[in-house]
Structure 1
Amino acid sequence: MPDVGEGLTEAEILKWYVQPGDTVTDGQVVCEVETAKAAVELPIPFDGTVHELRFPEGTTVDVGEVIISVNVGGGAAPEAAAPEAADPVQAQAPAEAPAPVAKAEEPAAESAPEGRQPVLVGYGVAATSTKRRARKGAVVPGQASAAIQGELNGHGGVATAARPLAKPPVRKLAKDLGVDLATVTPTGPDGIITREDVHKAAAPAPTVPAPAPVAEAPAPAATPAAAPAPAAAAPALSADARETRVPIKGVRKATAAAMVGSAFTAPHVTEFVTFDITRTMKLVEELKSDKDMAGLRVNPLLLIAKAVLVAVRRNPEINAAWDEAAQEIVLKHYVNLGIAAATPRGLIVPNIKDAHAQTLPELSRSLSELVATAREGKTTPAAMQGGTFTITNVGVFGVDTGTPILNPGESAILAVGAIKLQPWVHKGKVKPRQVTTLALSFDHRLVDGELGSKFLADVAAILEEPKRLITWA
């Protein structure tokens, strides 16, 4: 199981596309996994025949675990091998041999180029010696522990005795907690450092645990459901069928942890403005028949996004981030515009890279592609990284407004309410007009009331008089 995001420690196997006995080729997608950020398809990096699927669909697997083994034919490239061992611990470790199931009749790996050894899917090839391993179940003394040590230290070769033994997720945990593994006393089998060992070294008082990575953090008040069911992806019904328990994992688990972290890290302030958006709605209808927008989706969100980009240009300090470690405010000279999207797997926020540099037709195309990809569940982790400002459109659900929580790492988020026909004073008379409410939440550490108010007022002014999209741009 590779780390398909940035520092992810686990992923759930959603679907296998192959079965034992199937023939696979280099680059063929063999399974789909869901990480804390997105659903991702994993390709196989070699040719051969599937020998074993190590985990069933619905299982959450740690990064670094072997999930599939493949038999390779004669003359195969060194990449065409995956490790296998006789017990669960050995199954996690790339052994010194190239073949996943080293049967006596299979060709030895001495024909492979010197210095290259196949390792886990997605990890490439490690430089080490290539020796033929023993038949499955026949463990040669000394080789098993060396293979285990190699995998626990995050690579395919044999580790040196000076390096502490720990799985990649445990190493990630130690890094996040600032724990030097060399100072930790291992309690696991064969001298392996466990998560409990790291927590004990990090926090003498176990009641105050240090924060874990986002992908590992349990959602609050959901302990009974937090443990994923290894073989059952569907919600579990209780005995009397009066309750349904759904495991908290994947995107929903990461979102919960991120939102809790954001809410209790950044001091949120939310401001509101209600205004007449009638002229913008008329412009939307006109643009639908404009030849320059032919074939493109034109809706209020498109012009709201454009208004936000113009307002950011007029108030650049709103597009920033708080760097706690460096004690610096990071001003971004680009806008990666995030659009909150509700999907069956939970809320995700993919973003349009360099949205500030796009024309209206380009922005329309980018929005359409972003939404379509999210609905299909194909949003990649890269598409959700690096956002600088987010828009969440709660109006599509008929909601007037809300108090949105900041996307972690960003300084502001705009909630768009429902657009409704309401009585409004227009040119001295009460008339039915299209009215909406915007809500802006911002991080009060770096955005003060003046800046937040000016930005929100600018967005409303542009949408009230959309000609400002030209005059202010």
Structure 2
Amino acid sequence: MPDLGEGLTEAELVSWEVAEGDTVVLNQVIAEVETAKAAVQLPSPYAGVVARLLVEPGTTVPVGSPILAVDTAPAGGGAPVSARAEASPVAVSAAPASPPAAATATAERSPASAHAASSSASAGAPSPVAARTSVLVGYGPAVGTTDRPRRRPRPSRPGPSGPPTGRGPADPPPTAPSPTDHARPSGQAAPPAGGTVTERPRTHPPVRKLAHELGVDLTSVAGTGPDGVITRDDVLARAHRDPGAVSTGSPTDGRRPPDAPVGSPREDRTPVTGVRRRTAAAMVASAFTAPQATVFLTVDVTPTLELLDDLRRDRALAGRRLTLLTVVAKAVTIAVARTPEVNARWDEAAGEIVQPHYVNLGIAAATPRGLLVPNVKDADRLHLGALADALTDLTEHARAGTTPPGALVGGTITITNVGVFGIDAGTPILNPGESAILAVGAVRRRPWEHRDAIALRSVVTLAVTFDHRVVDGEQAARFVSDVGAVLANPGSALAMV
């Protein structure tokens, strides 16, 4: 797993784009991973044949751990591959398949001496592959060894088989190593006593997971895929053809509750990883660290909506997505200039309040992977059209999962638009490291006082949550009032700049 930058120490493998036996070319996408901040596609730093997939989807992998083995000189001929990564930890099978006898004997003594022997053996022979420029941040020297324990063959036991329980045959109990075990090659297990040896059902990790969820015994499924590989359709067909092979009840009794649909679990469990885990930790730290308070203001935004209608007809702004959020963002940068305390942060370690002279405006975005808060750098220096472009680009990347890590750090104040979900108001939690967040509610048509009469107007509720260590109530009230004044009378912005 390469270093994806921004101090991230791990990433979750979401899916493989290749399978064992596939031929890959340099820079071909091999997998999609998800960090605590964004989804990233990993390119292959080697060209060759995929020898092994070392990690199953859904696994969180530390940076530097091997995830894939690529045979850069596959059997069957062909010139050596001429391009590879600088000993990247992603692809880790560039060494010959059969190590020298001396290296094998050394490996049996200790992993450290094996690594040293392997390095010295390769130092004396010219490498058939040439170095190339790294293609992803963090590629560097290979970390650790590429070997992992091989799967232990499973014995087929004689006798009648009981009803399937959703689990494969049990592994033989561990036994003490015999003196002859040290003479076997590394990773090779001794044949089990009694019974013949059968291979593990051939399938892919997502299909194996589906079989586990449905309680289907893969040893009883005939594969229809290439070379007898068990496919998803094979598992589903088995589940529907023989309901007795499906267990949705207790894994120990093989029964399912009455009236439960065949193959449907009674509950789902989702591991807390990636963006969701990072968001949860950040919200807990924010809620129980900073004393937070919220003030509300309901504003008549009819003049702003009328202004937006006029601007959309302006040829100079054609093609730009001008929305109420765009004007709110501009209003925030104007209000910050009058009340800079809402743009400051509390530095607990230094015992200081840090006051930036710029506005990195965060926008809370709901994505399929969870809540992200990317920010527009130096938003206070952008005019309305440029700010609209920046917000459009930011939200599109967030929803596509392609937000660069740099856009997710360094925010100074945040806007969350709960109005898009039909919510009138709320009390948002501060984004960690910031002292204010503005929630914008839904626009509602309501009877409202206008020019000494009651009229039907478009109104919206603003809510500002602030860190009471940095911002006083008076400052928070002035800030939200200034934002409301811009929305109620956009022309007033000229007097506030």
Kindly indicate whether residue 315 of structure 2 is the aligned counterpart of residue 291 of structure 1: yes
Matched, 1:111 2:126: yes
How far did residue 232 of structure 1 move? Answer: 4.5
Q: What are the superposed Cα offsets for residues 411-442 of structure 1, whole Å, 9 maximum, x if unpaired?
A: 11000011101111111111111111100001
* Cα distance in structure 1, aligned partners of 2:369 and 2:137: 24
Residues 434-470 of structure 1, C-alpha deviations (whole Å, 9 max, x = no match): 1111000011111111211111110011111101233
What is aligned with 2:14?
14
Shift in Å, 1:21:
3.3
Say if 1:466 and 1:95 are closer, same or farther in 2 by CA, change over 3 A.
Answer: farther
Q: In the superposition, relative to structure 1, how do residues 236 and 437 fare at CA in structure 2: closer, same or farther (>3 Å)?
A: farther
Amino acid paired to 1:273 = L
Residue 10 of structure 1 deviates from its aligned partner by 2.4
Match of 1:71 in 2: 71
Q: How does 1:436-455 map to 2 (within 5 A)?
A: 436-455=460-479
In 2, the alpha carbon distance for the partners of 1:48 and 1:469 equals 61
Instruction: Tell me if structure 1 keeps the 8 A contact 2:49–2:70.
Output: yes
TM-score (norm 2): 0.66
Give the distance between the partners of 2:317 and 2:113, measured in 1 at CA: 55
- Are residue 307 (structure 1) and residue 313 (structure 2) matched? no
Of 98, 101, 125, 2:140 maps to 125
Q: Look up the equivalent residue of 1:53 and give its one-letter code.
A: L
| Distance in structure 2 (CA, Å) of the matches to 1:446 and 1:469 | 26
1:265 to 289, 301, 318: 289
Q: Which runs of 5+ in 2 are unaligned?
A: 74-79, 96-103, 150-205, 215-247, 250-256, 258-264
**Cα pair distance change 1:329/1:23, threshold 3 Å:** same
Question: How much does 1:313 deviate?
Answer: 1.5
On the 8 A contact 2:43/2:135 being kept in 1, the answer is no
1:50 alignment partner, SS class: strand
Shift of 1:112: 4.8
Partner SS state of residue 66, structure 2: coil
In the alignment, which residue of structure 1 is the partner of 2:419? 395
Alignment check: 8 A CA contact 2:375 2:408 kept: yes
Q: CA deviation at 1:120?
A: 13
Q: Which one-letter code corresponds to 2:125 in the other structure?
A: E
- 2:47 maps to which residue? 47
Asked whether the equivalents of residues 297 and 365 of structure 1 are also in contact (C-alpha less than 8 Å), the reply is yes
Whole-Å separation in 2 of the counterparts to 1:270 and 1:463: 20
Cα separation, 2, equivalents of 1:135 and 1:55:
12
Name the amino acid aligned to 2:10. E
Of 479, 482, 487, the residue aligned with 1:463 is: 487
Cα 1:28/1:266, change in 2 over 3 Å: same
Is 2:380 aligned against 1:356? Answer: yes
Tell me how far apart the structure 2 counterparts of residues 30 and 361 of structure 1 sit (CA, whole Å).
39
Q: Which amino acid aligns with 2:294?
A: T
The residue type paired with residue 24 of structure 1 is V
Is residue 418 of structure 1 aligned with residue 442 of structure 2? yes
| Pair 1:34–1:232, CA change in 2 (3 A) | farther
Q: In the TM superposition, what is the alpha-carbon distance from 1:235 to its structure 2 partner?
A: 12
Q: Is the 8 A contact 2:343 2:436 kept in 1?
A: yes
Distance 1:36 1:109, change over 3 A: farther
What whole-Å deviation, never above 9, does each CA across 1:50-99 have from its counterpart, x for those lacking one?
22211122222222210012222437467365446999xx9999956899
In 1: Cα distance, 2:420 partner to 2:335 partner: 23
- Give SS of 1:110's match: coil
Whichever residue aligns with residue 33 of structure 1, its letter is V
For the 8 Å contact 2:343–2:359, the answer to whether it is kept is: yes
How many residues get paired? 370
Give the direction of change, closer, same or farther, for the CA distance of 1:119–1:471 in structure 2 (3 Å limit): closer
* Cα distance per residue 1:103-141 (max 9 Å; x no partner): x9xx9873259xx9999985433499xxxx99999xxxx
C-alpha distance in structure 2 between counterparts of 1:363 and 1:263, whole Å: 30
1:340 and 1:393 in contact (8 A); partners too: yes
Q: Does 1:318 align with 2:339?
A: no
Q: Tell me which structure has the larger Cα radius of gyration.
A: 2
Hey, what's the Cα distance between the residues in 1 that align with 2:114 and 2:468? 49
